[in-house]
Chains A and B, each alone.
Chain A
Amino acid sequence: MNAPAPASVNTIVVEHLVKKFGDLIAVNDISFDVRQGEIFGLLGPNGAGKTTLIRMMTTLTPPTSGTAIVAGHDITKDADGVRHAIGVIPQAFTSDPELTAYENMLLHAKLYGVPADRRDRLIDELLESVNLTRFRDAFVKTFSGGMRRRMEIARGLVHSPNVLFLDEPTTGLDPVSRTNVWEMIRALRDRSDLTILLTTHYMEEADKLCDRIAIVDHGRLVALDTPGNLKDNVPGTDTVEAEFVGAPKDWAEQLRALPQAANVVERDGAFHIGSHEGPATVAALMDLARSRGVMVKRVTVQGTTLDDVFVHYTGSDLRDTTQRGRLDVSHLYK
């Protein structure tokens, strides 16, 4: 399941990390490596254990068993060393809304012991890099979600860390702010040798940003590879999605016999057919439907996505799983 061991130095080495909350196993024996300078993504639905995993790696939560070496420091034996070497942007906003952007960054620079003669220059450079120079002396409470997130990412870099942890950096942001944050993370990677570990439940985010992705589900690591390799591992290079009216009970079986069809999954009333050649499968599918008297309501063809990867490895849609993880309060609105 693990990708081939990278040639360069591993900045993060996670070894059999386990976290239990009573009977609940939030993280179940997870191991992986992150090499220096890469953007590594932890992809999974809400409640998969991503935040618990990142909290253990950033020394915010003690592991039940196992350990991790972050920038050469053991999280169980040298928490202080880990904290000096990392920058952390937690999932919730942690900047003080009653302070300005500059004051928030200054506070963190002081907490990290950044020398006084370097602080102002560093803060100004970082604010410039996140396009917030104009808002240096504005109160954070006046910022939009995207601005605040960018400021917090800049704050996490104020002590020049080796590793940056971002826990769901774009959750709750509008599409424009999300794109801005993505660009910023890419620019960070391009400009420095910074290792970035981020968690997300957005497929697109993981696909566009990450060099490698670890898929986490129910506290377990179910797949780890580059986005390209993960997609290649899914049977079929295209996915044909179709909805029918009047389909017989054995329709999935009949679809599986179509030329080039690799696998068929029925979800939400639609059939997802993994195919080695989408257009040929569609033509055959239309012929089959016509001959069986089944009406084709809708049909689309697309290349394999991380969504298909997730379904392939976990057996369920990420959106479904995310929804399952949430508390059902629909009865309150009836």
Chain B
Amino acid sequence: MKFYRVWALIERDLRKFFRSPALMMVSMIFPLVQLLVLGYAFGGKIKNAPVAFVDLDRSVESRKVREMFQAIAAGPQTFRIVDYNNLPDAIQDLRSGFVRGVIQIPHDFSERYFQKNRPRISFSEDNTDQFISTALESEIQGMVNQLNSPSVHSALNQQVALDVVEVYPYIEYAKFLLAGAVTLGIFSVAMIGGGITFIDDKSRGLHEGYLVTPIHKSELVFGLIGAGAIKGLMAGMCLAIIGGLMVGIPRLWDPVRLAYIACVIFAASLAMMSFMFLLMVRVSDPLVPRAIFGVLNTLLYFPSGAVYPIEAFPSWLRWIATVDPLTPIVHALQNLTLKNTGIEGIYGDVLVLLGFTVLMTAGCIALFQRQL
């Protein structure tokens, strides 16, 4: 193998890459928009969800309950109270989507309270939206627990308490999503620069121009993957820095951390480019890479843990996550962007990516057709 031939191809691709920033822009815009919109849309806590309050008892005790709800509404502001005089109107508005839940104090609440006969409060929820209903349920259950707690504590402390220690400061969702956005950028570069451009060059006859020269197929494969990996590194680093500034990653300019990020991004770009070439090595129809772009994106990006923890997936989806080449990229980048781990947090993932690259490249060389 002659390195000057590999470098000639890399040089050709880089000339075109620097000359036309289109690939860089296209591969960066989508992940940055996703980071901005998805990161801040999913990241916030629920505020001011309207909840109907129907007091059918109208007693001193029921008013105390209402004041308690009012206090929570004024505090964390998860919900705001909207008073209703009767239950049917409140339920109708719940069904119509004007309120997210209905708290009802029944007629016999005070009577049962004094009789110590399990006084009840009912909560009807709009469970079409799991996020809001879970948040409201948790808030209201906490308040009911508070109502039930004794006013005088036992002298003997028999209850086991759980102390939660948070190792890292609170992480907004946008910060969590940054690793996924960088991964998506690398994937886009591989898909556009590796898949679509490769097939387009093939169909435009450019490859026939190389095949008539003495270039070996391994030199062609190494040259094309190498060029793609350098483009992926540049796009990935730009994304990591711009995205990091957007979401406010602390100590972003730490040179050691940036070096580790570059290392992960380069390994990821090699893995993605070789993977894309293996998929496209026998394809000649320019429509094919465009058609499978969306499918691959959904199949690989979402199960990788980039937008939601893998632990929340059903078992079949976890299997996909296990074999998904994007999973180690997301994991390593999350370790670096969220926890600023050292080499110990990424070396396993980098080794997996390099091993994957070797396998894919070997497959490419075996399947690449030197002749027409």
Cross-interface CB contact of A92 among B7, B208, B215, cutoff 8 Å = B208
Contact A55 B372 (CB under 8 A): yes
Residue B15 CB within 8 A of the other chain = yes
Known: A61-B372, A107-B8, A110-B5. A84 touches B205 (CB 8 A): no
Q: What B residues does A80 contact at CB under 8 A?
A: 214
Q: What B residues does A286 contact at CB under 8 A?
A: none
Q: What A residues does B371 contact at CB under 8 A?
A: 59-62
Residue A132 CB within 8 A of the other chain = no
Contact B15 A99 (CB under 8 A): yes
Q: Which of B1-22 contact A (CB under 8 A)?
A: 2, 4-5, 7-8, 11-12, 15-16, 19-20
Q: Which of A101-145 contact B (CB under 8 A)?
A: 103, 107-108, 110-113
Residue A94 CB within 8 A of the other chain = yes
Q: In the complex the two chains form, what is the Cα distance from A61 to B206 in whole Å?
A: 17
Residue A204 CB within 8 A of the other chain = no
Residue B210 CB within 8 A of the other chain = yes
Known: A94-B206, A96-B206, A98-B19. A58 touches B212 (CB 8 A): yes
Contact A112 B213 (CB under 8 A): yes
Residue A251 CB within 8 A of the other chain = no
* Distance from B220 Cβ to chain A, minimum over Cβ atoms (Å): 10
Residue A212 CB within 8 A of the other chain = no
Q: What A residues does B8 contact at CB under 8 A?
A: 107, 110-111
Residue A278 CB within 8 A of the other chain = no
Q: Which of B196-220 contact A (CB under 8 A)?
A: 205-206, 208-215
Mark each residue of chain A from 176 to 193: 1 if its CB lies under 8 Å from any CB of chain B, else 0.
Answer: 000000000000000000
Contact B208 A83 (CB under 8 A): no
Q: What A residues does B214 contact at CB under 8 A?
A: 80, 83-84, 111-113
Contact B213 A111 (CB under 8 A): yes
Q: How many residues of A contact B (CB 8 A)?
A: 26
Q: What A residues does B210 contact at CB under 8 A?
A: 111
What does DSSP make chain A's interface, helix, strand, loop or mixed? Answer: loop
Contact A92 B212 (CB under 8 A): no
Instruction: Name which of B4, B15, B210 has the most chain A CB atoms within 10 A of its CB.
Output: B15
Q: What A residues does B4 contact at CB under 8 A?
A: 110, 113
Contact A96 B12 (CB under 8 A): yes
Contact B209 A90 (CB under 8 A): yes
Q: What A residues does B2 contact at CB under 8 A?
A: 113
Known: A61-B371, A112-B214. A107 touches B208 (CB 8 A): no
Q: How many residues of B contact A (CB 8 A)?
A: 23
Mark each residue of chain B from 355 to 372: 1 if its CB lies under 8 Å from any CB of chain A, else 0.
Answer: 000000000000000011
Q: What A residues does B211 contact at CB under 8 A?
A: 60
Q: What A residues does B205 contact at CB under 8 A?
A: 90, 92-94
Contact A60 B215 (CB under 8 A): no
Residue A46 CB within 8 A of the other chain = no
Contact B12 A99 (CB under 8 A): yes
What does DSSP make chain B's interface, helix, strand, loop or mixed? Answer: helix
Q: Which of chain B's residues has its CB closest to A96's CB?
A: B206
Q: In the complex the two chains form, what is the Cα distance from A55 to B208 in whole Å?
A: 10
Residue A285 CB within 8 A of the other chain = no
Q: In the complex the two chains form, what is the Cα distance from A103 to B18 in whole Å?
A: 14
Q: Which of chain A's residues has its CB closest to B223's CB?
A: A111
Cross-interface CB contact of B16 among A61, A84, A98, cutoff 8 Å = A98
Q: What B residues does A98 contact at CB under 8 A?
A: 16, 19-20
Residue A264 CB within 8 A of the other chain = no
Q: Which of chain A's residues has its CB closest to B205's CB?
A: A92
* Distance from B116 Cβ to chain A, minimum over Cβ atoms (Å): 84
Q: In the complex the two chains form, what is the Cα distance from A60 to B205 in whole Å?
A: 13
Q: In the complex the two chains form, what is the Cα distance from A110 to B209 in whole Å?
A: 13
Q: In the complex the two chains form, what is the Cα distance from A113 to B20 in whole Å?
A: 28
Q: Which of A54-88 contact B (CB under 8 A)?
A: 55, 58-62, 80, 83-84, 86, 88
Q: Which of chain A's residues has its CB closest to B220's CB?
A: A111
Residue A95 CB within 8 A of the other chain = yes
Q: In the complex the two chains form, what is the Cα distance from A79 to B292 in whole Å?
A: 36
Q: Which of chain B's residues has its CB closest to A155's CB?
A: B209
Contact A60 B212 (CB under 8 A): yes
Contact B208 A99 (CB under 8 A): no
* Distance from B371 Cβ to chain A, minimum over Cβ atoms (Å): 6
Known: A60-B208, A95-B209. A111 touches B215 (CB 8 A): yes
Q: What A residues does B5 contact at CB under 8 A?
A: 110-111, 113
Q: In the complex the two chains form, what is the Cα distance from A312 to B238 in whole Å?
A: 69
Contact A90 B20 (CB under 8 A): no
* Distance from B132 Cβ to chain A, minimum over Cβ atoms (Å): 52
Q: In the complex the two chains form, what is the Cα distance from A208 to B97 in whole Å?
A: 85
Q: What B residues does A112 contact at CB under 8 A?
A: 213-214
Q: Which of chain A's residues has its CB closest to B201's CB?
A: A96
* Distance from A49 Cβ to chain B, minimum over Cβ atoms (Å): 15
Q: What B residues does A90 contact at CB under 8 A?
A: 205, 208-209, 212
Q: In the complex the two chains form, what is the Cα distance from A55 to B12 in whole Å?
A: 26
Mark each residue of chain B from 248 to 271: 1 if its CB lies under 8 Å from any CB of chain A, else 0.
Answer: 000000000000000000000000
Q: In the complex the two chains form, what is the Cα distance from A107 to B2 in whole Å?
A: 14
Q: Which of B159-201 contact A (CB under 8 A)?
A: none
Q: In the complex the two chains form, what is the Cα distance from A98 to B20 in whole Å?
A: 9
Q: What A residues does B213 contact at CB under 8 A?
A: 83, 108, 111-112
Q: Which of chain B's residues has its CB closest to A116's CB?
A: B4
Q: What B residues does A108 contact at CB under 8 A?
A: 209, 213
A-B contacts, 27 listed (Cβ < 8 Å): A58-B212, A59-B371, A60-B212, A61-B371, A61-B372, A62-B371, A83-B212, A83-B213, A90-B205, A90-B209, A93-B205, A94-B205, A94-B209, A96-B16, A96-B206, A98-B20, A99-B12, A99-B16, A103-B15, A110-B4, A110-B11, A111-B8, A111-B213, A111-B214, A113-B4, A113-B5, A113-B214
Which B residues fall within an 8 A CB radius of A?
Answer: 2, 4-5, 7-8, 11-12, 15-16, 19-20, 205-206, 208-215, 371-372
Which A residues fall within an 8 A CB radius of B?
Answer: 55, 58-62, 80, 83-84, 86, 88, 90, 92-96, 98-99, 103, 107-108, 110-113
The 5 residue pairs across chains A and B that have the minimum distance between CB atoms: A94-B209, A110-B8, A88-B212, A92-B205, A83-B214
